[in-house]
Amino acid sequence: DAGVTQSPTHLIKTRGQQVTLRCSPKSGHDTVSWYQQALGQGPQFIFQYYEEEERQRGNFPDRFSGHQFPNYSSELNVNALLLGDSALYLCASSLAQGVISVTQYFGPGTRLTVL
């Protein structure tokens, strides 16, 4: 049973650039959530996608956007990168039951460094 996978593992970008991170959910899951984890902090919720739509969003600017594909995989896009965007980006998948989303399972993360 495949778990949550993310790519790439590591990424280095410069300020002002754009980045796309990818996530494949656990087999059988249809909901994807994205989190940002700065060094020494707990993960912070960015947004959640279900049925190819953003269902809930945390306190992140519009530079952060996402997409979910028909196969339930998801992308996180960050535009106009800032130094402060350097973090571990985590994807979590879950199975929605109607409008209900239960236990989230996390991928290994993508380490983004902005220089």
Partner 1 sequence: DAKTTQPTSMDCAEGRAANLPCNHSTISGNEYVYWYRQIHSQGPQYIIHGLKNNETNEMASLIITEDRKSSTLILPHATLRDTAVYYCIVRVALGSSNTGKLIFGQGTTLQVKP
The binding site for partner 1 (CB under 8 A) comprises: 4, 33, 35, 41-45, 48, 55-56, 58, 88, 90, 92, 97, 99-109, 111
- Closest approach, Cβ 48 to partner 1, in A, equals 4
Quote the CA–CA distance of 99 and 46 in Å, as a whole number. 19
Which one, 35 or 64, has the nearer CB to partner 1? Answer: 35
Contact assessment for residue 96 and residue 50, using Cβ atoms and an 8 Å cutoff = yes
- Closest approach, Cβ 98 to partner 1, in A, equals 9
Three-state SS annotation for the chain: CCCCEEECCEEEECCCCCEEEEEECCCCCCEEEEEEECCCCCCEEEEEEECCEEEEECCCCCCEEEEECCCCCEEEEECCCCHHHCEEEEEEEECEECCEECCCEECCCEEEEEC
- Closest approach, Cβ 16 to partner 1, in A, equals 27
Which one, 17 or 35, has the nearer CB to partner 1? Answer: 35
- Closest approach, Cβ 43 to partner 1, in A, equals 5
Which one, 13 or 58, has the nearer CB to partner 1? Answer: 58
Which one, 31 or 81, has the nearer CB to partner 1? Answer: 31
